[in-house]
Amino acid sequence: MSGLEGEVALVTGGGRGFGRAISMALASAGASVGVIARSRDQIDEVAGAIESAGGRALAVTCDVTDRAQVADAVAAVSRRFGPVSFLVNNAGIAGPYGPIAETDPDAWWQAQKIHLYAPLLFSSAVLPGMLARGGGRIVNIASRAAIMFQPGLSAYVVGKSAQVKFTEHLDAETRDKGVRAFALQPGDAPTEFAHATINDPGAKEHLPGMLEILGKWVDEVDPRPVLDKCAEKVVAIAEGRWDRIAGQYLDVDWDWNTTAATERQTRHD
């Protein structure tokens, strides 16, 4: 029996990149997976690949910032497979780019809706069931941007920073009832997300130095090992192996045993 047999996972932004890798890995480990995104062709491809490999998946189109659509998506997955026990908030957006003084406030705020409002909507939709059953896990796919600053990239950096704080509060409020939350920096891989940044006119105008470095990097790095490593970590979280370090920002490249040992020492001190 696989480690996640009987579990029901839901992955937003599941049609490509990290979301696709995570969806495939969760299904391979035995979970039934709801693959959520706006692009029908992409999520159908992922769900089809899962089912061809003997897994269980349902593709559901959804605007992750629309409360009614989020509720419908969660309901559709629950009707097919049962209540959601594992949520991965992976949907994201890189822009808009440029100084705050020159950025369209509406575009900037729309980015925050994807970074923060969407995880709030999905978490709010699945939490009542998780709390009633006394267990569940939520992973918010963060970024190294959450612990840095980059002029011209405020929409992304602020959104990811807020996402980590959201995770900390979520875990603190639910851990005593068996629900744990994680903010995961998934690694650096040249996915379509990175290529979209390179080709964005706003990024070209405001972040030429970053794009020069990024352009060389995407041609040299094979994304598959990074995607696979992230997916393996997410499966381990879903299996409950890392609950002792929940409620914080975690980098996929850290030694999490060291992180756990440091936390134990800090508590003893």
Give yes or no: 229 in active site.
no
Which residues does 155 contact at the CB level (< 8 Å), separation at least 6? 93, 95, 96, 97, 103, 107, 108, 111, 112
**Per annotation, catalytic residue among 160, 165, 177, 233:** 160
Q: Strand, helix or coil at 136?
A: strand
* Locus of tokens 């978490």: 123
Q: Which residue has the tokens 């159908």?
A: 44
**259/209 Cα distance (integer angstroms):** 33
97 belongs to the catalytic site: no
Question: What DSSP string describes 49-101?
Answer: HHHHTT-EEEEEE--TT-HHHHHHHHHHHHHHH-S--EEEE--------S-GG
The one catalytic residue among 97, 156, 233, 249: 156
User: Distance of CA 125 to CAs 44, 85, 90, Å?
Assistant: 23, 12, 16
- Catalytic residue numbers read 156, 160
